[in-house]
Structure 1
Amino acid sequence: MRPSPLTLPLRCTLPSFWPKAGLLSMLLLLLAGMIVVATAVGSVAVPLPVVARLILNQLPFIHLAGWEASQEIIILTVRLPRVLLAALIGGGLAVSGAAMQGLFRNPMADPGVIGLSGGAALGAVIALGSGLAFHHHLILPAFAFAGAFGTVLLVYRIATRDGKTPVTTFLLSGMAVGIFMVSMMSLILSRLTSVAVVGEILFWLMGGLDARGWIHLKVAFVPILLGSAGLLFFARDLNLLALEGEEGAAALGMRVKSVQRFLLLLSSLVTGAAVAFTGTIAFVGLIIPHVVRLIIGPDHRILLPASFLAGGVFLVGADLLARVVISPEELRLGTITSLVGVPFFLYLLHKGIRDGGR
Structure 2
Amino acid sequence: MNFNKSYSPLKAGFIFCLVLSITGCQKKSANEAQEPEKAIAPKPSVNLNQVADTAKTKMVWIKGGTFQMGSDEPEFPDAKPVHAVTVDGIWMDEHEVTYGQYAEFVKATNYKTVAERALNPADYPGVPADKLVPGSAVFSTPAQKVSLDNPLQWWQYIPGANWLQPQGPDAHTDTKNLKKLPVVQVSYEDALAYARWAGKRLPTEAEWEYAARGGKEKQKYYWGSELKPGNKWVANIYQGNFPDKNTGEDGFLGVAPIKSFPANAYGLYDMEGNVWEWCSDFYRPDYYRQSPAKNPPGPADSYDPEEPNVVKRVQRGGSFLCSDQYCIRYKAGSRGKGEVTSSSDNLGFRCVRDKVN
TM bin (shorter chain): under 0.3
Tell me the TM-score normalised to structure 2 length: 0.26
Point out which structure has higher relative CO (alpha carbons under 8 A, 6+ apart). Answer: 1
Bigger share in helix: 1
Which of the pair is proportionally richer in strand? 2
